[in-house]
A and B are shown apart, each in its own frame.
Chain A
């Protein structure tokens, strides 16, 4: 007699494979962290110069929850610091997205804008956003504004370039189909060209959100007195490499989360596209 809870060998094997498939993602990071921990504890380098992962985790924990003040003045202030950086990223990114899409669509669609606007923008593009820091400080002082300005510079050009590309590569026959159905020039832009260019625009937004985090942190190291980048640079002066690493981890995590959020919005907006792409088939 067999009981109903019996699991056949095939099913058990299937479950085991699934467990291993889940594990294969963590194998490499686990080995790296274990190696780093062992190396840090071996005493070949002073612990102040290379803190062990456990020490970094400890610092991060205290920074977030403030349980034993290992991180001194930062203890328990992580949320405030992270929020300060995130708001700068958000402000600069939204500004850059709006203006980037607007200018990109205008340049991609109209010869006039292409001739008048594009040369200037393309000349500004190769200037590294970081080189604007001196001017940003003179113009905006030491506060949120220079940081938002730098984030804007870093995020604007990826959005601009991808919007131009998206509009220029819209299938010519879709425009013809729109004209056949009686679309006005404005409807052609809002109802045909813009939706058709969206996949490319989203690609630009994803690059832009990455640049936004990079530039927020850079700005905070130089021109602002708050945020994750400021904590990172300040801790370097006090030789607190555990906090430096904790700040790096925080930035990586928040950057990753912003990208995930953007990807979710993209998957929802472009759901019509999913079944035709490699990504859609694999997922």
Chain B
């Protein structure tokens, strides 16, 4: 049984102001195995974030079935950790309180909360900043808190919606390396949304290329280049060429259609 099963997912947004419907996701079928690092790759507007939100339970599919660990997804829950595009931390809580927020909601006492959160503070390299508020930390540090917060819930899958898009190039590279290290250490299933071909190739062992209007899966590429990955190696470039060709073919199709 796959960790995540998407069966015939269709999502239609009704544009009430213009009185028409917009087909955003058209019959998506995808199996994601446990411990996979899957990148959903596509241009903006292809519905990749919508697909992620459907798995998270934030949005409902118009039709189709979403199963996580064999259970139908109906609402958000702590079995699916989400890392948002913006850190989306509670600004009134310190780093450690944000990370342990799930435990507080479950009624766990402060001493145990802090004890368990410290492990994740260390994991994302924020020791010394545990009592800082989000407004006192950089974007990269806040995003680390967001990742630690998702990991602490020990979810079966982690859903990430372009979490590094707002970071500068150097911080982005660092965070990508750390994310891969965390994934290797903790063996979790990650679904990572991105519009960057390079990012998908650095991170994923399965790259799902999506097309735009309506959002469909063009091809799911398995990519098992050993890590750490050399982004100048011939294998890396072969895979990149293949994916870029898929995308280019798609934009020619769209150009001809319009």
A: residues with CB less than 8 A from B are 171, 173-174, 176-184, 187, 191-192, 195-196, 198, 270, 272-273, 275-276
Chain A CB within 8 A of B136 CB: yes
Residues of A within 8 A of B82 (CB): 176-177, 180
Chosen A-B contacts, 11 in total, with CB atoms closer than 8 Å, are A171-B88, A177-B82, A180-B56, A180-B76, A181-B78, A181-B149, A182-B106, A195-B90, A272-B91, A272-B135, A275-B136
Known: A173-B84, A181-B105, A181-B153. Is A272-B92 also a contact (CB below 8 A)? yes
Residues of B within 8 A of A273 (CB): 91-92, 135
Chain A CB within 8 A of B101 CB: yes
Q: Do the beta carbons of A176 and B76 come within 8 Å of each other?
A: yes
Q: A176-B82, A177-B82, A177-B89 are in contact. List 14 more A-B contacts (CB 8 A).
A: A173-B86, A174-B88, A178-B105, A179-B75, A180-B76, A181-B78, A181-B102, A182-B153, A184-B105, A198-B92, A273-B91, A273-B135, A275-B135, A275-B136
Please pick, from B56, B77, B89, B92, the residue contacting A182 in the complex, using a CB distance under 8 A.
B77
9 closest Cβ pairs, A-B complex:
A179-B76, A182-B78, A181-B102, A276-B135, A173-B88, A272-B133, A272-B92, A275-B135, A180-B82
- Minimal Cβ-Cβ distance residue in B for A182: B78
Residues of A within 8 A of B81 (CB): 180
In the bound complex, CA of A184 to CA of B106 (Å): 10
Chain B interface mostly helix, strand, loop or mixed?
loop
Known: A272-B135, A275-B133. Is A177-B105 also a contact (CB below 8 A)? no
Interface string of B92-123 (1 = CB under 8 A from A): 11000000011011100000000000000000
- Minimal Cβ-Cβ distance residue in A for B133: A272
Residues of A within 8 A of B76 (CB): 176, 179-180
**Smallest CB–CB gap between A199 and chain B, Å?**
10
Chain A CB within 8 A of B58 CB: yes
In the bound complex, CA of A183 to CA of B56 (Å): 15
Chain A CB within 8 A of B216 CB: no
**Smallest CB–CB gap between A272 and chain B, Å?**
5
In the bound complex, CA of A178 to CA of B104 (Å): 11
Residues of B within 8 A of A174 (CB): 88, 90
Residues of A within 8 A of B206 (CB): none
Residues of B within 8 A of A275 (CB): 133, 135-136
Q: Do the beta carbons of A195 and B88 come within 8 Å of each other?
A: no
- Minimal Cβ-Cβ distance residue in A for B103: A181
Please pick, from A177, A191, A198, A276, the residue contacting B104 in the complex, using a CB distance under 8 A.
A191
- Minimal Cβ-Cβ distance residue in B for A183: B105
Cβ < 8 Å to A, chain B residues 138-181: 149, 153
Please pick, from A176, A191, A196, A276, the residue contacting B105 in the complex, using a CB distance under 8 A.
A191
Residues of A within 8 A of B78 (CB): 180-182
Known: A174-B90, A192-B90, A195-B92. Is A182-B135 also a contact (CB below 8 A)? no
Residues of B within 8 A of A181 (CB): 78, 101-102, 105, 149, 153
